[in-house]
Amino acid sequence: MGFEPRIVGFLCNWCSYTGADLAGTSRIKYQPNVSVIRVMCSARIDPTFVLKALATGADGVIVCGCHPGDCHYSEGNYKTMRRFPLLKKMLKDFGVEEDRVRLEWVSASEGQRFSEVINEMTDKVRALGPSRIRISLDADKVER
């Protein structure tokens, strides 16, 4: 059997999680590689969460929030919009491939789009292969 990536998905409660729910109730099929963690707002995603997911074995991380202008808390997603590009710059320096970490806006009515986003993300991470982060960290404990 080929490599199946483990992806952690952080979804905002108001738009993206509801969008994922809609995909479910509409019986839209998508690849089962994402483990979803529901958060109240995409702005709740401290960069620590993304780093911890990667450090503990995730092959990819996807963060989904409300479209700009649609945030339940009016400005939360703008904070994510500012934080994410800087985090991506930093991850590049750590040798994390660009496609492993992704930010997408998914509304509550976009069940179809949610499934497309997840399928695309899963395909890209599968093509990249397993993340080397966890493996390297474990190896460092044994071999200096």
Taking the CA atoms of the chain, what radius of gyration do you get in angstroms? 15
Task: Give the nearest distance from C-beta 125 to another protein in angstroms.
Answer: 15
- Identify the sign of the CA torsion 116, 126, 27, 22: negative
Kindly state the tokens that stand for 12.
Answer: 């905002």
Task: Give the nearest distance from C-beta 135 to another protein in angstroms.
Answer: 8
Type of residue found at 46: D
Complex with another protein: residue 1 or 94, whichever CB lies closer: 94
Task: Give the nearest distance from C-beta 127 to another protein in angstroms.
Answer: 17
Q: How far apart are CA 22 and CA 52, in angstroms?
A: 29
Stretch (H or E) spanning 65: strand 60-65
Task: Give the nearest distance from C-beta 98 to another protein in angstroms.
Answer: 13
In this structure, the chain runs to a length of 144
Footprint on this chain of another protein (rule: CB under 8 A): 46-48, 51-52, 54-55, 68, 78-79, 81-83, 85-87, 89-90, 93-96, 132-133, 136-137, 140, 143-144
- Residue 105's SS3 state is strand
Complex with another protein: residue 58 or 117, whichever CB lies closer: 58
If you write DSSP's letter for every residue of 112-137 in order, what string do you get? Answer: HHHHHHHHHHHHHHHHH-S-SHHHHH
Complex with another protein: residue 83 or 102, whichever CB lies closer: 83
Task: Give the nearest distance from C-beta 26 to another protein in angstroms.
Answer: 30
Complex with another protein: residue 23 or 101, whichever CB lies closer: 101
